[in-house]
Amino acid sequence: MAKFEKGKSGNPGGRPKLAASIRDACLAQTEKNIETLISLRDDAKQPGNVRLGAVNAMLDRAIGKPPQAVVLDPFGIGGLQGEGREEMLSTLESLREMAFQVGLIKHMQGEAAEDTIH
C-alpha cells in the first residue's frame, strides 16, 4: 500500500462531483418517483415491508429522519455490575472531591449549578 506524503491529502481533488446532467436527470424524475412511492404505499398487494419502506422514504425526505439518542458513557460505568460498579463510582466521586478542593470545579454534587472545568 502506498504511503501518503506527510501534510498532503490522499485525495486532493476531494470527492468527485456528480455530473450536472445526472443530477438534472434525477431531479426531472422527482414527481414520477414520488408517484411511484405513493403507488407502492397504496398497493395492498405489496408486502408490508415494501409499503412501509415507501412511507419511510417519503417521510424521511419530507420532514427528515427522527433524531437518535446518543448515550455517552466515557468511563464504561453502564456495563459494570456489583462491586466493580461501586468501586468505579467511589473512585470517580473521590476524584471529583479532589477537583473541587483544588478549584478545578466550582460546585459539588447536589448543588444547583453544573460542574465547570477551568
Q: What is the mean pLDDT of each run of 10 residues along the chain (118 residues)?
A: 72 79 90 95 95 94 86 72 80 86 76 46
Say if CB 38 and CB 32 are below 8 A apart: no
The set of cell numbers assigned to 1 is 500500500
Q: Where are the domains of the chain?
A: 20-63, 73-118
Torsion angle of C-alpha atoms 78, 79, 81, 84, degrees rounded to 10: -90
Check residue 1 and give its pLDDT. Answer: 54
User: CB count, 10 Å around CB of 106?
Assistant: 14
Classified as helix, coil or strand, 68 is coil
Q: Which residues contact 80 (CB under 8 A, 6 or more apart)?
A: 88
pLDDT at residue number 109: 60
- Predicted local confidence at residue 110, as pLDDT: 56
- What's the pLDDT score for residue 35? 96
